[in-house]
Amino acid sequence: MSSFAMQIQASQPQTSSRNRDRPALRSARLAFAFFATLVIALPNIGCGDSNAANTSDSTANPLEAPKTRLRVRVEPVRLARLAAGDRVTGTVRAFHRATITAETQGRVLARVVEPGASIEAGGKIVELESSRFELALRRSQASLSAARTVLRHAEREFARGERLLAQKAISSQQHDDLRYAVDRARDEITLSEVARDTARRNLEDTRIAAPFDGTVDSIAVNVGDFVSVGTPVATLVDLSRVRIFGGVTAREAARLAPGTKARVSFADLGGTILEATLESVGRVAASKDGTYGIELWMDDAEGRMRDGLVAQIELPDPDEQPRLLARRAALLRRAGNAEVFIVEGEGEAAVARSRRLRTGRSQGQWVEILEGLEEGDRVIWDGQFALANGTAVLIDGEDERPPETRAPAPEPMPTHAAPHAPLAAKE
């Protein structure tokens, strides 16, 4: 056997002995780790009661922060009148509106006012060329003067014929002709007076004037334009008072009466709310939508109204009684039912409780409560979405801690330092 083989045989017993020693070494290591852990844990075991006591003392400390509560905002349920739910959309119209047209023909000589100008009744808006109408007036006046001269001559001739007839110097036929001449002269005067008045009116019509107090909305002609009878010249509106037109159902029309006061709001004027008076309620339904027309009048001393503004009309109900009202924002819809959270208890004991409701009409931010709440219940209307039944809550505006748990104010510092206590002698 070679020397290499003999070396292998010699090494085999040693490897086997080393493998047998490994389990014992591992067990010794585990035992050492166990005892070391036990030694480290023994001091803490003795202090367990002390730590528990410290924890208990810390919990009982009155200056410790209380349990976290959710901050909410509340509004008590109140007993009040809910405005009628009948809201009607209306349209504002000028109390007077006129498209002024030319009543005679002529060329525009001047635009006396411009759009937007205020004008009184009778004030001149546009002036037409008038020289031809002045000539016509003078001609008619001359004709009238000639007719009066003819009448005076006819009357003298008739008076002379009366004397001649009494003397039988003329026949009855000649006398009658003289009387007819007088009548004809009087008729000529009447015709001349009509012609004069017509010429005077035509001359006046060259001065196109405002028929009422108002504001010039537009001017449709320019200087130099030729206008005929009926040509639109200007638009004039009176908005010192306005008419508001709307439509109501037959049920609403039955309970409305002229003289009723109504609230009117205008979204285009920032939600401005004004009061108007109901003037009339229609009795014939409109063919377009079946509603009955209503007309309200409203004064506008501040000049905010414009023709065509959209208005929301709130029609009051004279039979309306006070009802329980809650904020509409507080409503929650769960499983098809309306619910709210109310606050029960005071201070740290305040908790949220859910209530199922039956609601009625709503108006603006308020809703009518038919069942489920009582007057004075504090309804949570802000922060309710994060609540559950029994959640501790803090009402907005209240301190988070009651007075008895608040930290006392610090004592003032003494003016002079106290003398130091003597140190204990060392033993």
- CA 8 distance to own-chain centroid: 107
Torsion from C-alpha of 143, 145, 146, 152, nearest 10 degrees: 150
Q: pLDDT by residue (tens digit) across 183-226?
A: 999 999 999 999 999 999 999 999 999 999 999 999 999 999 99
8 Å CB contact between 375 and 403: no
Greater confidence, 386 or 427? Answer: 386
Dmax (CA) for the chain in angstroms is 208
Neighbours of 35 (CB within 10 A): 10
- In the block, residue with structure tokens 């130091």: 420
Structure tokens at 73: 């905002």
State percent of the chain over pLDDT 70: 75
Concatenated DSSP letters of 105-164? -EEEEEE-S-TT-EE-TT-EEEEE--HHHHHHHHHHHHHHHHHHHHHHHHHHHHHHHHHH
CB 363, CB 263: distance < 8 Å: no
Most trustworthy range by pLDDT among 184-193, 249-258, 409-418: 184-193
Neighbours of 262 (CB within 10 A): 24
Of 8-17, 283-292, 417-426, give the lowest mean pLDDT range: 417-426
Residues 306, 92 contacting (CB under 8 angstroms) = yes
Q: What is the pLDDT of residue 57?
A: 44
User: How confident is residue 332, by pLDDT bands cut at 50, 70 and 90?
Assistant: very high
62: which DSSP letter? T
Give the pLDDT confidence score for residue 87 in this predicted structure.
81
* Residues 56-87: tens digit of each pLDDT: 444 445 445 556 889 999 999 998 876 555 68
Is pLDDT above 70 for 139?
A: yes
Would you place residue 347 in the very low, low, confident or very high pLDDT band (cuts 50, 70, 90)? confident
> Domains of the chain, with CATH numbers?
71-79+321-401 (2.40.420.20), 88-93+241-314 (2.40.30.170), 130-205 (1.10.287.470)
pTM of the model: 0.52
- pLDDT confidence of residue 249: 87
Backbone angles phi, psi at 371, to 5 degrees: -160, 140
The single residue listed with the structure tokens 């205020």 is: 118
Query: What does the pLDDT read at residue 195?
Result: 95
Judged against a pLDDT cut of 50, whether residue 54 lies above it is answered with no
Q: In 3D, which of 105, 119, 91, 116 has the Cα closest to residue 211?
A: 119
Asked whether residue 295 carries a pLDDT value surpassing 50, the answer given is yes
